[in-house]
Amino acid sequence: MKTKKIISLLPYQKPFLFVDKISEISENGVSGIYTYQKDAYFYKGHFKGNPITPGVILTETMAQIGVVCFGIYLLKEKISSENKLQIALTSHQVDFFLPVLPNEKVTVVSEKVYFRFNKLKCKVKMMNLKNELVCRGEISGMIITKDNE
């Protein structure tokens, strides 16, 4: 499955789509990039005069690239444009080390821990352009496909 097709199958759209490109993908992992635009809605109030990307948005970016894009790839035999994807985050544990500023580009790297019964658990990390660790953790989710009715 081509990476642009995977992104097109994501159940998100702007302003809540946090995947610009999938750099690499295989049966064992995925990496992708995203740039946080300076006019993103969440910067208006986080923090006054000194905006940084909220941790929940960093976690969502890691989940979209590291679990959802990866899960679509792993389920490629079962997924088509005729299916609706239902995504459920089942657990996450993330440690944060550096802030991400407006207009900053990050790379997300995800490594499969296990994938069974449509549940995917991954070790995920986010790096900035200086290759510094921004955050890392484990994220698990379920992906269910249903035929469109």
Do the Cβ atoms of 81 and 5 come closer than 8 Å? no
**DSSP state for residue 68 in the 8-state scheme:** I
Report domain extents, the chain.
Answer: 3-147
- The DSSP line for 73-103 is HHTTTT--TTEEEEEEEEEEEEEE-S---TT
Q: What pLDDT digit, counting tens, does each position of 28-82 carry?
A: 999 999 999 999 999 998 888 899 999 999 999 999 999 999 999 999 877 766 6
Note the pTM of the prediction, 2 decimals: 0.93
Q: What is the set of active-site residues?
A: 46
Encode pLDDT of 77-107 as tens digits.
777 666 677 788 888 999 999 999 999 999 9
CATH dotted code for 3-147: 3.10.129.10
Q: Could you tell me which residues come within 8 angstroms of residue 140 by beta carbon, excluding any fewer than 6 positions away?
A: 67, 89, 90, 91, 92, 119, 120, 121, 122
> What are phi and psi for residue 67, nearest 5 degrees?
-120, -50
